[in-house]
Structure 1
């Protein structure tokens, strides 16, 4: 049994209307997807998706001819590659999908088999006016979601806070609310400094008064002391870690008691195997593990299997903000979009691997030489 071939393809779905992501001032006119396919000598194929994987061709030789089931070895190699190049974790997802297909088991069973069912919260991505945000909140509540995440970053903090207050006034406690402050990282051209501890504390007090479930990334991702002090000073849960990469960084966040909620994404950090270990450590420490999933449906499904199969969590991120961010746009590489039931749950199947089927016609129609947003 050996890996025989690795194929990386890029795709771009035109977006009309564009998607005005709250974290990017340039509306996105295309949605890029990079797809990784890993083949073995029996004809099985594992799929993964995430970062663009530029330059990964230089490292493929470290996997060809290797046992596809040697997942710990592959994760260690990918960690070394990440040190020298970009984030290669879509390869890890493809390897886990392939392993599941070889073994005839879904990934959620391979990582622990705790459960095949997990509840989702709706994660918005557009800065809409107050009245439209209230309509969105009503819509996701009627659809069965237990919670909604609101993005900050409007021209003024008061505008952001007005959105939270209006949703709370309209729906009361019927819908849990989370707030993503987006201070942990920046787009390459955004040189604004992140909030100081004093600024974050001011916002936290306001969000506490609105009964917000968690406050996400209120400080720079590396401000361990700031996070520690913020957690000591407030009662609201503090979330972060979506773009944290190294195991030692997560250890710092844990040992310094920086976060209540850990949000690393399997296609961005440590892969499925690495995050499985971290999730167990987080749960043992009495904290919440619930990944960031903002991307396409392949990455979403990888995080669903990882989390449902490993630890108990109140809910997991489900990117959803129609019409600009619909299920059909998000999951265009797939024959069937991932969706929740009427109570906001997603039930994973017994299909081997991630249980996904690609829409090859759509992938052919959207094929591109590169992966860019505009």
Structure 2
């Protein structure tokens, strides 16, 4: 099997309720790039990258397509089933830009599964479960509204609730989190995510004010070094998200005692091939993680759910997908990937289990042969 062509499609994904708000930015629409990797057997594979706007991290949609334009020609003639060799070729063609390489990497895994008649999760080591636990991010609002939203999501079956914080007075965050903690069952996990919107002082003050509440704080500050300075000064477990830009950083975060867990993004780390390494590292080091991505349609959701299904229970904090927050991203012939009772069933079928309805798509914006 050889790669003969790479086609690039562009879609716009609209946020369902007008906007998705974080401490430092908000978005109302996302620029999505889908790649179709074509083989000489007639089988094709799909991958996707959808940056969460241009300021959430060092990614932007036009940059993804520019990077793919550089990398894709180097893949022509390669066997897509040799995923590590494909990744090596991508790195030789372009330094960095993992979020663009992620789409091509996922497409090769999809093609590999179709070639062997296997699901991607089984190629990645085997599914531990037929559906994966998810979690829901509650947007900033009044204290009462935040608590009510968290309670409703818990009643829907979500085993983990994330409260977005930052971008307002710290006292408001503290009040909201305390109200949510009172509203939730003790068995529901609580995560507070400022998305880099707190200072080190904010983080320490929050942790003191809420030290009686069982919760996890995720990526409160901007940089790795800020988290390193406060890791032994707070009273709650610290997960890193936006700072987990590569595998050496993840190893350093664990060995230096900075992080007790990770919110892993598929596109930030570069796709399923490097994410598989992160999964093995976390299991061996005894560190929990989530398997997520910044945003996306069914292709991205399927990739994260397939990987999430392979993580042992003791280390798996769930998978977040953007489906509840957006209008349908693009047409697919297969059933949509969505939450059922706070969990996400694995898609049926080989590969990713997602078949785009290309008849409803616009023509490719670029093709590489």
Q: What interval of TM-score do these two structures reach, taking the shorter chain for normalisation?
A: 0.7 to 0.9
**Residue by residue, what CA displacement relative to the aligned partner does 1:310-352 show, whole Å, maximum 9, x if unpaired?**
4433432324696xx14xx26545453322333x333325521
**Residue by residue, what CA displacement relative to the aligned partner does 1:150-179 show, whole Å, maximum 9, x if unpaired?**
111242111112211112222342532101
**Residue 10 of structure 2 corresponds to residue 19 of structure 1:** no
| 1:51-200 to 2 correspondences below 5 Å | 51=50, 52=61, 53-55=64-66, 56-81=68-93, 83=95, 85=97, 87-88=99-100, 89-124=102-137, 126-173=139-186, 175-183=188-196, 195-196=199-200, 198-200=201-203
Shift of 1:85: 4.7
Q: 5+ unaligned residues in a row in structure 2: which ranges?
A: 51-60
The structure-2 alpha-carbon separation of the partners of 1:156 and 1:321, relative to structure 1 and needing over 3 Å to count, comes to farther
User: Could you tell me which residue of structure 2 aligns to residue 191 of structure 1?
Assistant: none
Paired residue for 1:205, among 173, 198, 208? 208
**Residue by residue, what CA displacement relative to the aligned partner does 1:283-317 show, whole Å, maximum 9, x if unpaired?**
11111021233312322221221232244334323
**Residue by residue, what CA displacement relative to the aligned partner does 1:210-259 show, whole Å, maximum 9, x if unpaired?**
221x1100233421xx4345333444221113453233222211221221
Q: TM-score, length-normalised on structure 1?
A: 0.83
CA distance in 2, matches of 1:12, 1:148: 28
**Residue by residue, what CA displacement relative to the aligned partner does 1:250-283 show, whole Å, maximum 9, x if unpaired?**
2211221221112222222132121111211111
**Residue 43 of structure 2 corresponds to residue 44 of structure 1:** yes
CA contact (8 A) 2:24 2:167 kept: no
Root-mean-square deviation (Å)? 2.7
Q: SS of the counterpart of 2:146?
A: helix
The structure-2 alpha-carbon separation of the partners of 1:311 and 1:172, relative to structure 1 and needing over 3 Å to count, comes to closer
Q: SS of the counterpart of 2:173?
A: helix
| 1:246-285 to 2 correspondences below 5 Å | 246-285=246-285
CA contact (8 A) 1:334 1:357 kept: yes
Q: TM-score, length-normalised on structure 2?
A: 0.84
CA distance in 2, matches of 1:315, 1:330: 26
CA distance in 2, matches of 1:369, 1:4: 17
CA contact (8 A) 2:3 2:75 kept: yes
The structure-2 alpha-carbon separation of the partners of 1:20 and 1:241, relative to structure 1 and needing over 3 Å to count, comes to closer
The structure-2 alpha-carbon separation of the partners of 1:227 and 1:41, relative to structure 1 and needing over 3 Å to count, comes to same
User: Could you tell me which residue of structure 2 aligns to residue 306 of structure 1?
Assistant: 307
Shift of 1:71: 0.5
The structure-2 alpha-carbon separation of the partners of 1:303 and 1:164, relative to structure 1 and needing over 3 Å to count, comes to same
Q: 5+ unaligned residues in a row in structure 1: which ranges?
A: 185-193
The structure-2 alpha-carbon separation of the partners of 1:79 and 1:210, relative to structure 1 and needing over 3 Å to count, comes to farther
